[in-house]
Structure 1
Amino acid sequence: MDVDVVCLGESMVAFLPTRPGRLADVPSFERGIGGAESNVACALAGAGHAVKWVSRVGADGFGDHLVAAVGAYGVDTSGVRRDPGRPTGVYFRTADDRAAGSHEVAYYRAGSAASAMSVANVPWGSVWSGRVLHLSGITAALSSECLDLMRALLARRPGRPLVSFDVNHRAGLWRSGTDPRVSLELARGADVVFVGEDEAEEAWGVRGAWAVREALPGVGVVVVKRGAEGVTVFEGPTPPLPESLRRSPVDCGPWMAGRAVPRAPRLPGARGTARATHHGPQPNVTTVPAPRVDVVAPVGAGDAFAAGFLDATLRGLGTRERARFGHLFAAAVLTVPGDHAAPPPRAHANRLAALDDEAWGRLRLGPGWTGTEQEVRTS
């Protein structure tokens, strides 16, 4: 069977609270699964794509559960290896938004089976078997072996699949003495990069969408997530690499340091090319606002957005439609209680993605919107 997308990365058993409150006060939890790359795999499989997940889990009951749960979404798990000497990772979280000050996550993943993924033990036949290879910066933060693996996967080489990279910056994961700006080095090896403006400023010291684009020369598609403003997608010619970045791919020098980064120019509200701060060919710039969403649970949206964008990319759709499918997949997750949701039916999503800008701007999506078009409001 031909494989559309291979997703490589750690998945964990997630313990989700049965009610809001501090971890110290929550009396019970329900078992689920969590992992950026496996979330993308499950969503793409739900959209009808042939998807393979590559990872390592422990030879334990939690590993059994993970493989069965991801496989139940239609994902090929033949690329998952069992580690008899290391456990499957688990984590507990509160019900609050990650952005809220009261949100808590307790990870028990140190020394996990997935943290032992390396150049020497991944099944390379599975890794290179798809049209797209999807990765995230989380893997690089798990161990030095995982970082070496990510460097190998993101090295540009003839014949590799299209490589998608979601920065997914998690400050608490980076080991003491490891500079999180290493994810910038990794991102430069990808063909498609997903990164939030807030992530880029926190991890790389880069402020603004245009500065993010300038920091990623050679990347064909850069998707900058801008919160409530939606996303800005840069495609095409890349700007010249600043001198300080030429010196070192990781130690980015003063150009990347806070106030020294040039402010981004004002980007158009819909489609157009931004005024650049340099000479030469300009990238195409498309800004697509997010629809209004009646949020039930604010988790999993970033992974779902990546899945929607890749779904539309595999189908050869245009930039605006790719971004809109990302928003629609994200809205499907945001309007259910858990971290996973079935993608909207293809015909339903196609109709919404084809709306004119005015109708898209009036769109409001609430619980149940993926099941019937009557649940979709445009007011």
Structure 2
Amino acid sequence: MTEDPRPGGRADRGPGVSGSRAAGDTGARPAAPGAVAGGGEVARAPAPWPRADGTVVCVGETMAALAPEPPESLDTGESLRLSVAGAESNVAMYLADLGVSAVWLSALGDDPFGRRVRAAVAAANVDVSGVRSDPHRPTGLLVKEPGPAGTRVHYYRRGSAASALGPEILDDPRLGSAALVHLTGVTPALSPSCGALVERALATPPAERRHAISFDVNHRPALWPEGTAATVLRDLADRADIVFVGLDEAQHLWGADLDARGVRELLPRPRLLVVKDGGREATAFDGDGRVVTVPAPRTEVVEPVGAGDAFAAGFLAGLVRGGALTSALRLGHITAASALGVTGDHGPLPDAATVERLLGLTERAWAARA
């Protein structure tokens, strides 16, 4: 962990408003937007943020995924492994693994791929009861092509059931009990109606929201018309409460010379901004100007696809569980490592005792694992 260098700055405090005590100091969760401490009145206890008693609702497309088994060229491979792949359902599944109540909202084709996707996400203890079955549109499909320079992904999703999602999905009653709604930059790129969905989710001012909004920039260049992604994704991200972005994708979108602090200058409004610097470190910025950097532990990488979703789930689980930023970042790294070690998007987590032991390491002991 790297502490905020400002005089009096303290990096490991939770993301509460100025004047609130650290979540890591008291076990209390950070104050909700608009909470006030001090002054002539008796300070109210900070409200949990996000609420610990609610669910996390993840909204977005999931596809059937095919990959050579064992990993080799599609030109010569003789068998393909069928799995599922979708940023938002990945987050939901990892949240469920971490003991957080998770809901996935989407649409699937009324076809074998759709039934396979629904069953796989449900098997991870995610609530899929709000997922629609579309008899007129197919389930999206992707095919992974491993190669020496990394894995290339071919998408077959045009006209998919999920591309027809629109703002009305936000009327789902499951959002009434949500502590947090998680979206990604994939969704607004799928269709105008999907873009309207994300716009509606972010239209309510932060102080008036019934739940926090989490947004992973998740830039997929192939989905965007040339020259459009940078402006749209920056605007959407800056209206969310919690934002995740990779430093590499921020540099690609908004400037090759950006560092983590430069990204914060471009996205000043989110209550929490997390900038992930590949396998090196992740830095969180809170609304009070505090900064926490936690190095990533050494991990054998089988395939990087899905690691960003796993990190987001771990971080969000850490917040919902009431942890300070350091703990949330560590849990993000731990969860990401489970995705890096498998060819699919969803890998097995360490047992709960191991996770708690890792979260409890001293700063020096954690750094020794980097």
TM-score between both structures, scaled by the size of structure 1: 0.79
Select 2:80's aligned residue among 29, 42, 49: 29
Q: 2:78, 2:334 → 1: CA distance?
A: 34
2:302 counterpart letter in structure 1: V
Cα drift, residue 55 of structure 1: 0.2
Q: Once the two structures are superposed, what CA deviation does each residue of 1:251-277 show, in whole Å capped at 9, x if it has no partner?
A: xxxxxxxxxxxxxxxxxxxxxxxxxxx
Match of 1:265 in 2: none
Distance 1:286 1:125, change over 3 A: same
Partner of residue 94, structure 2: 43
Identity rate of aligned residues, in percent?
A: 46
Give the superposition deviation at 1:102.
Answer: 5.3
Contact map agreement 1:3 1:51 (CA 8 A) in 2 = no
Q: 2:354 and 2:155 mapped to 1: Cα distance?
A: 38
Q: Which residue of 2 aligns with 1:241?
A: none
- State the alpha-carbon separation in 2 of the partners of residues 114 and 176 from structure 1: 23
2:268 maps to 1:217: yes
Supply the RMSD in Å over aligned alpha carbons: 1.8
What is the rounded CA distance, in whole Å, between the counterparts of 2:293 and 2:229 in structure 1? Answer: 31
**Alignment match, 1:89:** 140
Q: Does the 8 A contact of 1:156 with 1:189 survive in 2? A: no
2:243 is equivalent to residue 193 of structure 1: yes
2:199 aligned partner, one-letter code: R
Q: Partner letter of residue 307 of structure 2?
A: A
- Once the two structures are TM-superposed, the CA of residue 299 in structure 1 deviates from its matched residue by 2.3
CA gap of 1:95–1:101, structure 2 versus 1, over 3 A, is closer
Structure with higher RCO (Cα < 8 A, 6+ apart): 2
Amino acid at match of 1:348: T
Query: What's 1:368 paired with?
Result: none
Residues 1:293 and 1:179: Cα distance change in structure 2 (over 3 Å) = closer
Q: List runs of 5+ in structure 2 lacking aligned partners.
A: 1-52
Which one is further off, 67-76 or 102-111? 102-111
Q: Which runs of 5+ in 1 are unaligned?
A: 238-282, 365-379
Counterpart for residue 173 of structure 1: 223
Distance 2:322 2:283 in 1: 19
Secondary structure, aligned partner of 1:218: coil
Q: Which amino acid aligns with 2:98?
A: A
Q: Does 1:142 align with 2:190?
A: yes
Give distance in 2, aligned partners of 1:357 and 1:3. Answer: 31
Separation in structure 2 between the aligned mates of residue 133 and residue 174 of structure 1, nearest angstrom = 23
8 A contact 2:170–2:201 mirrored in 1: no
Provide Cα deviations, 1:15-68, integer angstroms capped at 9, x if missing partner: 011133333333321100000000010011111121110001111111111111
| 1:304 corresponding residue in structure 2 | 310
Q: Distance in 1 between matches of 2:187 and 2:314?
A: 21
The 5 Å alignment of 1:120-135 reads: 120-121=168-169, 123-135=171-183
Q: Could you tell me how far apart the structure 1 residues matched to 2:244 and 2:60 are?
A: 16
Q: Residue 22 of structure 1 contacts residue 104 of structure 1 at CA under 8 Å; is this kept in 2?
A: no
3-state secondary structure, aligned to 1:106: strand
Letter in 1 for 2:95: L
Give CA-to-partner distance per residue, 1:175-203, whole Å, 9 cap, x none.
35644430111101111100011111112
How many residues align? The count is: 315
Q: Distance in 1 between matches of 2:345 and 2:265?
A: 33
2:300–2:341 CA contact under 8 A, matched in 1: yes
Q: After TM superposition, what 4+ stretches of structure 1 lie above 4 angstroms from structure 2?
A: none
Alpha-carbon distance in structure 1 between the residues aligned to 2:124 and 2:316:
17
Residue 21 (structure 2) aligns with: none
